[in-house]
Structure 1
Amino acid sequence: MFQYIDTNMRTFKNKYLASKDKIQKINGFKDKISRVTKYYEENLSNQVIDYVYKQDNCLKLLSVRYKKERFPHLTGIDFSNSKADEKIEMLKNGKNTKPIYIENATIKKLEVLDSLPKVLQADSKVLADLREVKQAQRIGVNRAIKTKENDLLLALYDFQPEIFEPKSLLNIKEAKQYDNIPENTVLAIFKESKDKNAIHMEPISLNTKALGSIENSTKMLIAVGMYAKEQSNLLEKQQIKKRKIAKLRQRGMER
């Protein structure tokens, strides 16, 4: 069970020290937290997941890098002075050796945490324009993935050109501000993998109903293949650059 550990540090990274009553509530979600933590670690941690979706009759691709250290923030639970691996282990085991810090929305997040695996299902939606949503503006996100059940929104921000990263998990069961935002149908979800100088795209979920015809499936696969080729070329250039830098450094040492 998670336990209360007192400390003089009442706040930490915009979070506040969880009281005994709050920790008791968190323990009510202990099994859910452990289960989803294991799922994230095995299926999403340090992976790049590509979402192919349809917007204005055009195929678009949303690349999301699920960093390991982002997961605790998605739960709304943090531990002071702990590395990412330590935080993951404490969440997974339901035991803490460091004080627990939470947000105002932590319990709300935990209520829908078990919907997080659904972001790997191709019946989810991509919200590509959040300019009119004040909450999105406040937390600095411009893309999101919405579950089919409309209970969870995974808010994303672009930390690199064309690559997004989870910023927050939002409980939208009762939220109305996302209702009128255009939703883009996800056609397929792929997981990226590297092999020397090549990027490979492994399909993990297909929306066969939305794809409909063989023609649509073919167009989607061609688009994904072109993207993988572009990424492979970029990776190869990066590898060549690294080798050149290594050679220059080696020559400098030899002098």
Structure 2
Amino acid sequence: MIELKTPSEIEAMKPAGRFVGSILKDLKAMTKVGTNLLDIDDYVRQRIESCKGAESCYVDYAPDFGTGPFAHYICTSVNDAVLHGVPYDYKLKDGDLVSLDLAISVDGWVGDSAISFVVGQDADPEDLRLIKCTEDALVAGIAQAQPGNRLGDISAAIGDVARSQGYTVNVEFGGHGVGHVMHGDPLVPNDGKAGRGYRLRPGLVIAIEPWFLATTDEIFQDPRDGWTLRSEDGSRGAHSEHTIAITENGPQILTVRD
């Protein structure tokens, strides 16, 4: 069921969004060559435990698309992994492409956001182009989140950006409603037809999250952890996400990182 938030409820969601955004901003600045993924996970744990009213949305989360409960505080996807990456004992290398996806509840309201970046100095220009495409697609999708538009307008804008830059789009996983739970209705695919689908209304809060792979749109679930989604051909992936509220005055980003 799609739930619309009141203006006061959207205000109540902002602390969670700001908290998630601030952690991702700090992690991007802190993550270097040699940083261990488990240290990233532990840093998020400490930040959550230090914030009154904050709870992880990931620990013990067990949806039908994963194998067993997720046991960590953040998703860390590296190189050919693009979604749901499980932190493990791995030290990042120069040139690794890292995607960090974080969802936290504060006082019962959820913020959900993701960023991708390259670690170190040896960045492949193609990785940077892929990351920028997800960011451009996110901007385009948010721009279409206007009252009176349709859900398909957001999806079409995302897909158009991907195709214009030579990437294909997988629609198995995409954006979603956000509120008291991390994953709610409606689904927000990363491709679609403009003018189709649910009519956008003030009070709708959604996560918009373009993710693309360099040379394929096919993924598989890593059998070693039952969660991490990797590209079928080993090519790299990138992921950008914001939680936004649709208001009378247009979209408002709740997971700001500035």
Question: Normalising by the residue count of structure 1, what TM-score does the alignment of the two structures yield?
Answer: 0.23
Q: Which structure is larger by alpha-carbon Rg, 1 or 2?
A: 1
Structure with bigger strand share is 1
Structure with bigger helix share is 1
Higher RCO structure, 1 or 2 (CA under 8 Å, sep 6+): 2
